[in-house]
Chains A and B, each alone.
Chain A
Amino acid sequence: MKTFLAILYHGSRLALAAIFCYAGSVKALDVVAFAGSVANYQLLPYQLNFLVAATLPYVELAAGLLLLFGRQVRPATLLVAGMNGVFILALLSVILRGLDIDCGCFRPGGEGHTSAQMALLRDVGIMLLAALTWFGHGRRNS
Chain B
Amino acid sequence: MSDVLNGLRRDLLRALLIALLAALVGLAVNSRLLWRALSGRSLSSGSVAVSEPADMVLPLPVELDEVRELQGTSTLLIDARSREAFAEGHLPGARSLPRGEVTSELPSLQAEVPLDIPLIVYCSGYDCNDSFVLAEQLIAAGYRQVRIFEGGLPEWQAAGLPLEGGQP
A residues sitting closer than 8 Å to B (CB atoms) are 28, 31-32, 35-36, 39-40, 42, 44-47, 49-51, 54-59, 61-63, 66, 72, 74-76, 78-79, 82
Across-interface contacts of A79 in B (CB, < 8 A):
15, 18-19
Any chain A CB within 8 A of the CB of B127? yes
| Partner among B11, B38, B127 whose Cβ is within 8 Å of the Cβ of A47 | B38
Q: What is the bound-complex CA distance between A91 and B29, given in angstroms?
A: 28
- Find out whether the CB atom of A59 lies under 8 angstroms from the CB atom of B154: no
- Find out whether the CB atom of B22 lies under 8 angstroms from the CB atom of A62: yes
Across-interface contacts of B113 in A (CB, < 8 A):
none
If over half of B's interface residues share one DSSP class (helix, strand or loop), that class is named, otherwise mixed; here it is: helix
- Nearest CB in chain B to that of A37: its residue: B154
Interface string of B4-17 (1 = CB under 8 A from A): 00010001101101
Across-interface contacts of A74 in B (CB, < 8 A):
7, 11, 14
- Find out whether the CB atom of B15 lies under 8 angstroms from the CB atom of A39: no
Given A32-B124, A56-B26, the answer on whether A39 and B158 have CB atoms closer than 8 Å is: yes
- Find out whether the CB atom of B23 lies under 8 angstroms from the CB atom of A55: yes
- Find out whether the CB atom of B22 lies under 8 angstroms from the CB atom of A59: yes
Q: What is the bound-complex CA distance between A63 and B11, given in angstroms?
A: 13
- Find out whether the CB atom of A58 lies under 8 angstroms from the CB atom of B26: yes
- Find out whether the CB atom of A36 lies under 8 angstroms from the CB atom of B18: no
